[in-house]
A and B are shown apart, each in its own frame.
Chain A
Amino acid sequence: MKFVPAAGLIATSFRTLPRFRLVRADGIAEAVAALDGSDQPAVLAGGTDLPARFNEGFAPSDLIDISRIAPLREVRIAGNAIEIGAAVVHAKGCAHPLIQQHLPSLAHAWSRIANVRIRFSATIGGNLMARRTRYEGAILLSALDARLRLRSVKGDTEIRAEEIWTAALPRGALLTHIVIPLRKGLQLDYARELRPILTQAVAIEDDAPGRVVTATEHVIPCLRALNSREAASVAGEIELNDPVTSAAYLKRVSATLLERQLTRLSLP
């Protein structure tokens, strides 16, 4: 809803959307140049988060449509990692043969986020770049120790997935790819049944400590190393000052979920 003088509260529509310049980019370089040259850019891929941002008062000067850029819609293997284009739609990403083959546990978790209708339109890049703590892409990818590749006029840079909530991104940066290292024994379990109170992603691998990401919708998720197989011990390290749910309750729920998740992952 938006307050319009003389009209009161009305729903967002053509009559209330801000005017902007549209750039329909055919390539990454064109999109990056448009981003760099804009005072207040917005990137359009799936577009499912934009209405919420408009409702929150966001008024871009330029809308840069990246949905037609083919390399951003691809999934590929590069060395010992899987690279997911930022404009890959959820429904296609979770069903992609390479994801199914190399990270079936991610495919399963990815297929459960949002709802069916959103999954047909929304992209993994949009989920991340919205930088909202209630969106689940970064929770899964943080557990998998993924990197986010950003392109700006100064070149490529990478950040860790969990930095998306806090990092200062380069001016005009376009998220181009999500890079997940395919380490030996890498598996993911995502507990979503208690959402929105708490969700928890656990990733394990053969030759390194695992990672636990615990999230509520309201604060930056908590990332911990899974050095110990003792769920209560790991849950004891949780640091979530959630405004809705008490820390003691979150700690207990996290520990309970972790026990179940480690069992599902076949850990002792």
Chain B
Amino acid sequence: MSDIAISFELNGEKRRAAVAPNLLLVDYLRDHEQLKGAKIGCSRGVCGSCTVLVDGTPVAACSKFAFQIDQASVITVEGLANGDRLDPVQQAFVDHAAFQCGYCTSGMILLTKALLSQHANPDRATIIEWLSSNVCRCTGYSQIIAAVEDAAQRQRQVVP
């Protein structure tokens, strides 16, 4: 079982790596890149706590092998802030206290980034449909929905 050479972009930086065929993306990010934002939850692609963006679409990193990101662009929650300035979605989550234990938060934020890239002005039903992809075991959905609505508004103010 020989390693596979891959090249990809991680949070805006070009990377090359040699990965075992059975190395999961979430393990590569957490153990090889020390990016701990993607959390291991259900390990079967259901809970969404390991969500990252691959070429702009939300993906469960526990359900993808590392070799599958060859030639792709990967964004994790660590890649959102600009220096000390949080991304508008992150700031909205902070302002609305849209987390309790925080385990689902990075996945929720990245799912929201993907949602807002496709729907600049999502209605509540669309937000709920998208957020139903991920699970918050603390059940803080009201605050999360409020944060997404606020983030959408902030993003519309930034991007004409």
Contact with B along A71-99 (1 / 0, CB 8 A): 00000000000000000000100000000
Please measure, in the bound complex, the distance between the C-alpha atom of A44 and the C-alpha atom of B67, giving whole angstroms. Answer: 12
Q: Does B133 contact A (CB under 8 A)?
A: yes
CB-CB under 8 A for A48 and B27, given A17-B22, A117-B133, A118-B133: no
Partner of A13, one of B43, B51, B115: B43
Complex contact B62–A117 (CB within 8 A): no
Complex contact B63–A20 (CB within 8 A): no
Q: Which residues of A contact B63 (CB under 8 A)?
A: 47-48, 50-51, 121
Q: Does A52 contact B (CB under 8 A)?
A: yes
Contact with A along B40-52 (1 / 0, CB 8 A): 1011110010010
Q: Count chain B CB atoms within 10 A of each CB in A11, A12, A116 and give the residue with the most.
A: A116
Complex contact A12–B43 (CB within 8 A): yes
CB-CB under 8 A for A20 and B133, given A11-B40, A51-B43, A121-B59: no
* Chain B nearest CB, measured from A12 CB (Å): 4
Q: Which residues of B contact A118 (CB under 8 A)?
A: 45, 133
* Chain A nearest CB, measured from B38 CB (Å): 12
Complex contact A117–B134 (CB within 8 A): yes
Please measure, in the bound complex, the distance between the C-alpha atom of A25 and the C-alpha atom of B21, giving whole angstroms. Answer: 14
Complex contact A20–B22 (CB within 8 A): yes
Complex contact B134–A55 (CB within 8 A): no
Q: Does B26 contact A (CB under 8 A)?
A: yes
Please measure, in the bound complex, the distance between the C-alpha atom of A67 and the C-alpha atom of B65, giving whole angstroms. Answer: 13
Q: Does B24 contact A (CB under 8 A)?
A: yes
Interface of B is mostly: mixed
Complex contact B68–A47 (CB within 8 A): yes
Using CB atoms, name the residue of chain A closest to B55.
A120
Q: Does B145 contact A (CB under 8 A)?
A: no
Q: Which residues of A contact B20 (CB under 8 A)?
A: 14
Q: Which residues of B contact A63 (CB under 8 A)?
A: 21-22
Q: Does A195 contact B (CB under 8 A)?
A: no
* Chain B nearest CB, measured from A88 CB (Å): 15
Q: Does B33 contact A (CB under 8 A)?
A: no
Complex contact B58–A13 (CB within 8 A): no
Q: Which residues of B contact A121 (CB under 8 A)?
A: 57, 59-60, 63-64
Partner of A18, one of B22, B31, B59: B22
CB-contacts of B111-130 with A (<8 A): 111, 115, 129-130
Q: Which residues of A contact B130 (CB under 8 A)?
A: 116
Q: Which residues of B contact A13 (CB under 8 A)?
A: 24, 26-27, 40, 43, 62
CB-CB under 8 A for A14 and B24, given A47-B68, A48-B45, A117-B48: yes
B interface residue numbers (CB < 8 A to A): 1, 4, 20-24, 26-27, 31, 40, 42-45, 48, 51, 57-60, 62-65, 67-68, 111, 115, 129-130, 132-134
Given contacts A13-B27, A67-B68, A116-B115, list 14 more A-B pairs with CB under 8 A: A11-B62, A13-B43, A14-B20, A48-B63, A51-B62, A116-B111, A116-B129, A117-B58, A118-B45, A118-B133, A120-B57, A121-B59, A121-B60, A121-B63
